[in-house]
Amino acid sequence: MTKETIKNIRVGLDEKIQLLMIYLEEGVYKQQFTILVVLQLTMARMWMGKLLGEMGTDNPYPNSTNPENNIVDAATDKGAPGVPSVPLWEIEEVKRHRKDLEELIVQWRAFFNEEYEVQSTPVKFLCVEKVLGYLMEAKMLLGLELEEMGRTEGKFIIKEQ
């Protein structure tokens, strides 16, 4: 996976995070799971940044460890959230986010396998592993959100196995 691909994924995740934050600000969410999804996606995005550093990208936050000044460097690889494509936080929207994450998980699993096969540096391998874990957890939490929506709002039927 190239640095440019990782940066593009970070932009896409940032857009998703910003969109979810709009939902939070609008008070649409009723469950704690969605807040955790934002946290997991943010953690995945941060580990991607760490991976970029391990791949030789310059530190975009040179002032972050300098107590001699009061400068805070702006976040990198930022996206624009856009406008929600459906009414705020409907079931279809949750499922769309889960599908997007599933596609990203497949991509990161392949990258994880590549890093494992080439016996990557321990830190690079850890970064890829962390990103994969956070993406998987975010998808699982959206599943809990779906289940809770069905239970509290009665908008769909939970099919028993």
Residue pLDDT, tens place only, 12-55: 888 888 888 877 777 665 567 888 888 999 999 989 998 998 88
pLDDT of the residue at 91: 73
What DSSP assignment string belongs to 33-84? HHHHHHHHHHHHHHHHHHHHHHTTPPPS-TTTT-TTS---PPPSS-------
Q: Which tokens in the block code for residue 48?
A: 């991607």
Domain boundaries, the chain: 3-56+89-151
Split at pLDDT 50, 70, 90, the class of 159 is: low
